[in-house]
Amino acid sequence: MNRAVPQVAVTPPPICTSSTLRDELSTLFTQPRFNDKGRYLSETELIQFAGDADALLVGRDRITEQVLSGLPQLKIIVKYGVGLDNIDVDALKKHQVELGWTGGVNRRSVAELTLGFMLGLCHNVFNAGGALKQGQWVKEGGKLLRGKTVGIVGCGNIGKEVVRLLKPFECKVWIRDILDMSEFCRETHSLEKSFEEVVSGADIISLHVPLTDETRLMMNATAFRRMRSTAYLINTSRGDVVDEAALKEALVKEVIAGAALDVFSQEPPEDKDLLACPRLMVTPHIGGNALEAVEAMARTAFQHLDEYFNK
């Protein structure tokens, strides 16, 4: 575009640690800058790292007014991954910085992990496997996923994909979304329900919402008390959607049967007591990180960069 050789800075560790993806981006832009810290960057680190870059490809790094003020050369932010809750879109407009992002690219990856959580929780895979590693032979096979009532809270790209994956299991699917899901419900033989109905009636509650003022801590102590004692909670969306202290208490006091978390309010999580809960399955935010999803999200981001600087 304006500069003969655009300067591109890249932060997401899945891209920066992949020789294949680094080579692919390097064929499009001369000497792109890669983050070598193995993690996402703080605001101060981001400013130092990006410097005079024309383009910044980010993942979960926070793009704030402070960051944008410190990067006056920046022309475009490209987002790798799902959701824009870490990006101040109003600040982008103020600083006249464009945004490149395509949602839903990793929906199959997250949906498959969600289905794995459902099967693992129902069939007692996680608890039984953990017990066996401790030398305990506990033959408790759980129950079938088939026929259970599954509540999908947030029915965007990922939520819809989960509903499709559930079809062979003949589950009752209840959907809660702020948008009208009537057509999708007709197509999939699902039912639209209120949040309260999903929380109090579903055997499995699976969260697929963005983090907003409305969804922050939506699964709190009140919600856990409304859940069935035999019900499970799954969160593969954003950590702050769940009140982790309330979840820990609900698990310890057996208010609910179990839970599975791929996301946390702080990552990596530091609450060892939460992680130690015996009826909690945890993974380190890997839902969207299947190899195929990583490559697809990276290449979509590269395409946004290529289109911007070569249009």
- Catalytic residue positions, numbered: 238, 267, 285
- Give the Cα separation of 20 and 80 in Å (integer): 16
| Torsion, CA 74, CA 76, CA 79, CA 85, rounded to 10 | 80
With H, G, I as helix, E, B as strand and everything else as coil, classify residue 62: coil
**DSSP character at residue 39:** S
Asked if 239 and 265 touch (Cβ cutoff 8 Å), the reply is: yes
Task: Answer left, alpha or beta for residue 154, where phi above 0 means left and psi between -120 and 50 means alpha.
Answer: left
CB-CB contact of 67 with 46 (8 Å): yes
Cβ contacts of 288 within 8 Å, gap of 6 or more:
81, 82, 106, 109, 110, 294, 297
**What tokens were used for 277?**
């809960």
Indicate the angle between helix axes 291-310 and 19-28, nearest 10 degrees. Answer: 10
DSSP string, 238-295: -GGGB-HHHHHHHHHTTSSSEEEES--SSSS---HHHHT-TTEEE-SS-TT-SHHHHH
Q: Are 35 and 17 in contact (CB under 8 A)?
A: no
- Characterize the bridge pairing of strands 191-192 and 258-261: unpaired
User: Please, are residues 256 and 233 in contact by the beta-carbon 8 Å criterion?
Assistant: yes
